[in-house]
Amino acid sequence: MDEKVPTNLEEALLRIAELEKENAKSKILMEKKKELLEKANVKNKKYYNAHREEYIQKVKEYQEKTNYYKNIPPEKKKEYARTAYLNKKEKERKKREAEEKTEEKEKKEQEEREEEKDI
């Protein structure tokens, strides 16, 4: 709250009245939004029920096109888990190598600075 706290009773009562007005406006706005959402849900439900077979057919076509499996066989799960594990390890290795390179570079720069100071 970035507003100052009322110091006397009259200011406090005025502030309470303002807040009550804001609250009432917010409630009215919320009710309007709820009504709009309900209308949209009803509309979407009617459309879905009217075009249900088309929708189901489109979903099946998409699943076939993308090779979607509802229940993945255990062998595939193991294969996916292994590749994910290997990818994670590779990413960690690359990150570690990059960190080592930056550390080596920083050490060389530090040594060069020290040599320049000695000269």
pLDDT over 70 (residue 38): yes
- As a whole number of Å, the end-to-end CA separation of the chain is 60
- What residue type is assigned to position 58 of the chain? K
Alpha-carbon separation of residue 14 from 1, 4, 17, 78 (angstroms):
17, 13, 5, 67
pTM over 0.95: no
Alpha helices in the chain (DSSP H): 9-50, 52-65, 74-118
DSSP structural state of residue 43: H
- Whole-angstrom Cα distance, residue 86 to residue 99? 20
**pLDDT for the residue numbered 111:** 87
| Tokens 């959402």 sit on residue | 37
What digits encode the pLDDT tens for the residues 62-118? 988 888 877 888 898 999 999 999 999 999 999 999 999 999 999 888 888 888 877
DSSP structural state of residue 66: T
